[in-house]
Structure 1
């Protein structure tokens, strides 16, 4: 089945409008994913540090450490150097796929 001229025009409009907004949204989602990944990695890394037993960690300390790890993960993924690169790779992968079709 052939596309009509109206369908071609509509397809181009959809691509132009969605490119600007969706590119930024896509990068935000990719950075959010990278941030979650880094947070999980930092949390698992923290588990490998042995407790010396001298001072037990309170619930408040554990909550603070988790919040600190989460904030560090956000800052790493939002850094100018593209975080650890996962967000950029995901963005490039999704960007190369043409997902809007009529």
Structure 2
């Protein structure tokens, strides 16, 4: 085996793992953005609901609701509920294809 071919093979492996890491980070960012959008939608929808005053828990209830919304929207985004994160991922990954890769 040639030293140059071994070095080239090793560099390709490093490049591929770096590309995989970038793709993973991009996918996580897109899912996080979808979760953020879903949380905003839930927040705006709740503002339209009148509080009866009978079960109004004040600040504690608001904090609990916020935490619950965070968890729910993270699960929704992770399960690709709306598909918004996946569409965003496809769009961004196609926009930033390195010149040496062909699809």
Give the TM-score, by structure 1 length. 0.74
Quote the RMSD (CA, aligned, Å).
2.3
Corresponding residue for residue 92 of structure 1: 90
Q: Does 1:40 align with 2:47?
A: no
Q: Any unmatched runs of 5+ in structure 1?
A: 1-8
Deviation at 1:87, TM superposition (A): 0.6
Q: Distance in 1 between matches of 2:26 and 2:77?
A: 14
- What is the number of residues matched between the two proteins? 90
Q: Secondary structure at the match of 1:89?
A: helix
Q: Does 1:72 align with 2:90?
A: no
Deviation at 1:74, TM superposition (A): 0.5
Q: Secondary structure at the match of 1:73?
A: helix
Q: Any unmatched runs of 5+ in structure 2?
A: 1-7
Q: Secondary structure at the match of 1:51?
A: coil
